[in-house]
Chain A
Amino acid sequence: ETGVTQTPRHLVMGMTNKKSLKCEQHLGHNAMYWYKQSAKKPLELMFVYSLEERVENNSVPSRFSPECPNSSHLFLHLHTLQPEDSALYLCASSQGQGHNYGYTFGSGTRLTVV
């Protein structure tokens, strides 16, 4: 265990469903991130929260909606997804910008949209 926990580990959803991914860290970090990792594609940064405020949103479609209710929890709400959204979704956290210790990643949620 890295200290960053993602649930569920696997998720299959239809295109009309609404679901949420959850990320939890108890490392005392103050920044959290969502990444998308598709087959044969590099890591795509989706959202960044620092001190519970969204500081970056990399042109992500509105069918993905993040929520950061406190510094330990991060959610990614999903609705009306497309098959191309099937991917491994990774959560990470860091203390500050991550200069000194880098990022700590969760194990990811494998999402399949059918």
Chain B
Amino acid sequence: AQSVAQPEDQVNVAEGNPLTVKCTYSVSGNPYLFWYVQYPNRGLQFLLKYITGDNLVKGSYGFEAEFNKSQTSFHLKKPSALVSDSALYFCAATGNAGNMLTFGGGTRLMVKP
């Protein structure tokens, strides 16, 4: 069975500092990996994805994620956090066996001025 783990319920970072939101996954076959962001009372918005190619994926709003096959991780990063980045972040994954996406439990990012 597929699984996605986001080990931190909440990440706190000061504005201007780099941020990392962690994600590890377990799927069969080659992984398809996604990050979504959710603002209050809104749906999930696509940030970025890894399908194949370069391990460093760049996405919306200055976010990027690094695919690490040996560690089965896909951590979300941003060099300089903004207060407006404060939101709930979800990692999702599936394998090439044709399964649906499996979502992690979400990580709340709090960026303080």
Q: Interface of A with B (CB < 8 Å)? A: 2, 4, 6, 33, 42-43, 45, 48, 56, 88, 90, 92, 94, 97-108, 110
Contact = CB atoms under 8 A, between A and B. Distances in A.
B43 A99 contact: no
A104 B103 CA distance: 14
Tell which of B51, B90, B92, B100 has the most Cβ of chain A within 10 Å.
B100
B70 to A, nearest CB: 22
26 contacts: A4-B43, A6-B43, A42-B103, A42-B104, A43-B90, A48-B100, A56-B100, A90-B43, A92-B44, A97-B99, A97-B100, A97-B101, A98-B100, A99-B51, A100-B51, A101-B49, A102-B34, A102-B101, A103-B44, A103-B101, A105-B36, A105-B43, A105-B44, A106-B43, A107-B42, A107-B43
B45 A102 contact: no
Interface string B83-113: 0000000101010101111011110000000
Interface residues of B, number: 23
Interface of B: 32, 34, 36, 41-46, 49, 51, 90, 92, 94, 96, 98-101, 103-106
Contacts of B94: 97-99
A40 to B, nearest CB: 9
A42 B42 CA distance: 15
Contacts of B104: 42
A43 B103 contact: yes
A110 B46 contact: no
A105 B94 CA distance: 17
B49 A108 contact: no
A102 B48 CA distance: 10
Contacts of A102: 34, 36, 46, 49, 92, 101
Given A42-B106, A43-B103, A102-B34, A97 B98 contact: yes
Contact of B41 (A56, A94, A104, A108): A108
